[in-house]
Amino acid sequence: MRLRFSFAVRTLALCVAFAAGGARAARDPEAHELRYTEPAAEWLEALPIGNGRTGAMVFGGILEERLQFNEQTLVTGSSKTGDNGAYQPFGNLRLTFEKRPEASDYERVLDLDAATVRVSFRSARVRFEREVFASRPDDVIALRLTSSDRGQISFVVRLEDARGGKGTGDRQGLTFQGTLPNGMNYAAGVRVVANGGTVTREADGIRVTTADSATVFLDATTDFDKAPELNFKGQPPLPAITQHLDNAVRRGFDEIRKSHLADHQALYRRCSLDLGHSAESMLPTPKRLAAAARGDMDPALPSLLFHYGRYLLIASSRPGGLPANLQGIWNDSPKPAWNSTYTTNINLQMNYWPAELTGLPECHRPMLDWISNLAAVTAASEDPKLKVPVGWISYSTHNAFGGNTAWALHMPGSAWLSQHLWEAYDFGGSRGFLEHRAYPQLRALSELWLGRLVAGPDGTLITPDGWSPEHGPVRQDDGTIVLKEGDRTPLPGVSYDQQIVHDLFSRFITASAVLNQDAELRAKVETARARMLGPKIGRWGQIQEWMEDVDQQTNKHRHNSHLFAVYPGRQITPDGTPALAEAAKVSLKARGPDSTGWSLAWRMNIWARLHDGDSALECLKRLLKPVPAAGGKGSGTYPNLFGAHPPFQIDSNFGATAGIAEMLLQSHETGTDGKRELRVLPALPKGWKTGSVRGLRARGAFTLDVGWSDGQVIALRIRSERGEAVRIHVNGKVLEPEIAAGSSFQWVR
């Protein structure tokens, strides 16, 4: 037995080709890098960095370096209905260089493992390098310029307020401050440190002349505080940035980089995927996208996209902050699409699908806090439409203050959001979190829906007045029914509502049993759940989106709301409800092969849950369709691998990472004996013959490493934190190991 175990570990070490966290050489075909041979001309070619709070798009120009920067709290609007406002760009940091002889050997790289953008080129035998990252521990963006020869670094730094406000400065630094129409105060600042050469003050900037190397630190913040009880007002911004910048100058670039790497890699290196590589994997990123579009997808491209989603979540969502919005934290427009805010009929939730699955529970926290704050704001709101006897409801769109666009009251939105509170516990959160944060919401919302359900024509319980995002059946004068975009005519028993409420009830039932609380209410909820109208199969074999069989086979709508029960719900599974699972496939196929970015990502997850890896991969291929940065139309992927709805919307990046994880491991089912059902490689596409994944998380607080060859698992390691009972489905076999809390189990074919 011992021999077998050690062999398993050895095999795993061989097939899981990650020298646990080892640094990668620049030309490693499996390096987690986005690579370009030209500076960014467009915003969607620039490369994102972020520390969860402050972010920047790095352009990497030869004569000008531009960092278009953001800070996640710079938003207009308020907590009131109809005053959503929009996420605002903060400003630009520009470094203008002296004209030099033509540059060669240009390279621009985003190294996901180091969370650093590197720019390098040669000009008249001098090699120039730039390195830029956003540090979480030191709360600054740091940019260092070096060159192969001494005295070669000369440039002027300027700092611009996106609203055109005037700044001030001295020889060491520049700042600007301002106030938004909603009273929010903001400030940004830079400091410049040069080694050798001179530093002088210019009319509108700071000039560095013939330095050996130079460092620029940037910070930006506002006086927003996410706490409703503080009326969203925190500390004035200028002292905070002054403190961060002073600290950065004192500590210096090397120390800051050391802390940055330790902080980032502690999260980033928890999980990684290797699907092999090919000659195309060595190409610059746009060429890899182009090759994929020609049908030559290199195997390291899906894994790069997987890692990119994790990178973006780490960069845009950290404890204490706001959740990643429609563009994460990266936005250069004062009028971004859909205000770049939080929409709750798919987009915000999708942003957080990869968080627990890929080992980033810390990054989930901003979303969980925002949900609690939204509950408090809407419950206390003076908007009569938001008044409910127990629990809370929301509109479809909310901002950082919990305010909204007044667009579309969204009855089941709070129940869907509460799924995230449960999942945070289920994947490994503490019992304290379950008891004090998740459970009170699950209970209140279950009570809300117990009170709202009514008996339908056949006696089943139905939701009284819902709609399926964002289309609906409209009866014409001649009696025929057409499906119209955006229609929200209230209807009873809409599948979206039924499935979300079913899911809420299921989570409440489990949670109350785990905590041994509210047995009476649990019994009531169990009875109600059993009486609820379930998913129905319609006249062409589809899952009905509405209680009446009005679905049209030609309807290509982007929302997949009637398939919530497959993903992210769990009411429909291939083993538990095979007929419904088949009907879900019929529905999905009818929607057609193409859609918006997030819709394709959602479909990947649904196909994975239906154990159809090839169809999931088809969605991924479409998602990777290259879309030009300037004037690009259609959905797919921009040159910087940002998802194209279009326009840029980050949900498809996060949804794709979750979808790939879902193809490799599933844990949403529980046996009648209470054992967790873990499915290893449940939806592996035929083309992903050999590979390995390390650090995937499963519900029940498990972490898995898996290696496979010829489509068969060859080694598996599973660590358990809670010692929960588990059944593992692998290579058509069922394993039922007993794994004590804190120990692991290894298996080899």
Summarize as ranges the residues that interact with ligand FUC (CB under 6 A): 326, 338, 343, 347, 470, 558, 596, 598, 645, 649
Residue 534 CA to its chain's centroid (Å): 30
Please state, in angstroms and rounded to a whole number, the distance separating the CA atoms of residues 382 and 81. Answer: 9
Min dist CB 400 to ligand FUC, Å, is: 16
Q: What are phi and psi of 116, to 5 degrees?
A: -140, 140
Closer Cβ to ligand FUC, 207 or 558, answer by number: 558
Closer Cβ to ligand FUC, 211 or 350, answer by number: 350
Closer Cβ to ligand FUC, 337 or 481, answer by number: 337
Tell how strand 676-680 and strand 726-730 pair up.
parallel
Closer Cβ to ligand FUC, 498 or 596, answer by number: 596
Which residue's CB comes closest to ligand FUC?
A: 338
Min dist CB 281 to ligand FUC, Å, is: 31
Closer Cβ to ligand FUC, 338 or 401, answer by number: 338
Tokens of 415: 């129940």
Region for residue 661 given its phi and psi (left: phi exceeds 0; alpha: psi -120 to 50; beta: otherwise): alpha
Distances (CA, A) of 644 to 236, 597, 601, 606: 36, 6, 11, 20
Torsion of CA 517, 519, 525, 530, to 10 degrees: 130
Closer Cβ to ligand FUC, 165 or 634, answer by number: 634
Please state, in angstroms and rounded to a whole number, the distance separating the CA atoms of residues 349 and 355. Answer: 11
Closer Cβ to ligand FUC, 326 or 357, answer by number: 326
Min dist CB 348 to ligand FUC, Å, is: 9
Closer Cβ to ligand FUC, 470 or 612, answer by number: 470
Closer Cβ to ligand FUC, 650 or 701, answer by number: 650
Min dist CB 91 to ligand FUC, Å, is: 25
Query: Which strands, in side-by-side order, build the sheet including 665-670?
Result: 665-670, 676-680, 726-730, 733-735
Tokens of 699: 């519900």
Min dist CB 660 to ligand FUC, Å, is: 21
Min dist CB 474 to ligand FUC, Å, is: 18
Min dist CB 88 to ligand FUC, Å, is: 17
Q: For residue 159, what are the β-bridge partners?
A: 93
Min dist CB 608 to ligand FUC, Å, is: 21
Please state, in angstroms and rounded to a whole number, the distance separating the CA atoms of residues 39 and 58. Answer: 9
Closer Cβ to ligand FUC, 329 or 462, answer by number: 329
**Sequence letter at residue 56:** A
Closer Cβ to ligand FUC, 31 or 500, answer by number: 500
Tokens of 8: 């398993």
Tell how strand 394-395 and strand 409-410 pair up.
antiparallel
Please state, in angstroms and rounded to a whole number, the distance separating the CA atoms of residues 164 and 183. Answer: 17
Min dist CB 648 to ligand FUC, Å, is: 11
Closer Cβ to ligand FUC, 118 or 645, answer by number: 645
Region for residue 416 given its phi and psi (left: phi exceeds 0; alpha: psi -120 to 50; beta: otherwise): alpha
Min dist CB 597 to ligand FUC, Å, is: 8
Cβ(111)–Cβ(32) under 8 Å? yes
Please state, in angstroms and rounded to a whole number, the distance separating the CA atoms of residues 124 and 148. Answer: 11
Cβ(198)–Cβ(210) under 8 Å? yes
Min dist CB 645 to ligand FUC, Å, is: 6
For 561-617, give the DSSP string: GGGTTTTT--S--TTTSHHHHHHHHHHHHHT-S---HHHHHHHHHHHHHTT-HHHHH
What three-state secondary structure class fits 106? strand
Min dist CB 408 to ligand FUC, Å, is: 9
Closer Cβ to ligand FUC, 431 or 633, answer by number: 633
Min dist CB 222 to ligand FUC, Å, is: 24
Min dist CB 470 to ligand FUC, Å, is: 5
Min dist CB 598 to ligand FUC, Å, is: 6
Please state, in angstroms and rounded to a whole number, the distance separating the CA atoms of residues 136 and 143. Answer: 14
- Exposure class string for 397-436: b at 16+ Cβ within 10 A, else e: bbbbbbbbbbebbbbbbbbbbbbbbbbbbbbbbeeeebee
Provide Rg for the chain, Cα atoms: 26
Please state, in angstroms and rounded to a whole number, the distance separating the CA atoms of residues 426 and 697. Answer: 11
Q: For residue 598, what are the β-bridge partners?
A: none
Please state, in angstroms and rounded to a whole number, the distance separating the CA atoms of residues 156 and 64. Answer: 9
Closer Cβ to ligand FUC, 84 or 347, answer by number: 347
Min dist CB 340 to ligand FUC, Å, is: 9
**Sequence letter at residue 682:** P
Cβ(29)–Cβ(282) under 8 Å? yes
Please state, in angstroms and rounded to a whole number, the distance separating the CA atoms of residues 561 and 595. Answer: 14
Tokens of 420: 């995230």
Tokens of 170: 């001295």
Min dist CB 569 to ligand FUC, Å, is: 19
Cβ(33)–Cβ(111) under 8 Å? yes
Closer Cβ to ligand FUC, 429 or 632, answer by number: 632
For 637-705, give the DSSP string: E-TTS-EESSSB-THHHHHHHHHHHHHHEEEEEE-TTS-EEEEESTT--TT--SEEEEEEEETTTEEEE
Closer Cβ to ligand FUC, 371 or 644, answer by number: 644
Please state, in angstroms and rounded to a whole number, the distance separating the CA atoms of residues 33 and 747. Answer: 32
Please state, in angstroms and rounded to a whole number, the distance separating the CA atoms of residues 139 and 141. Answer: 7
Closer Cβ to ligand FUC, 364 or 558, answer by number: 558
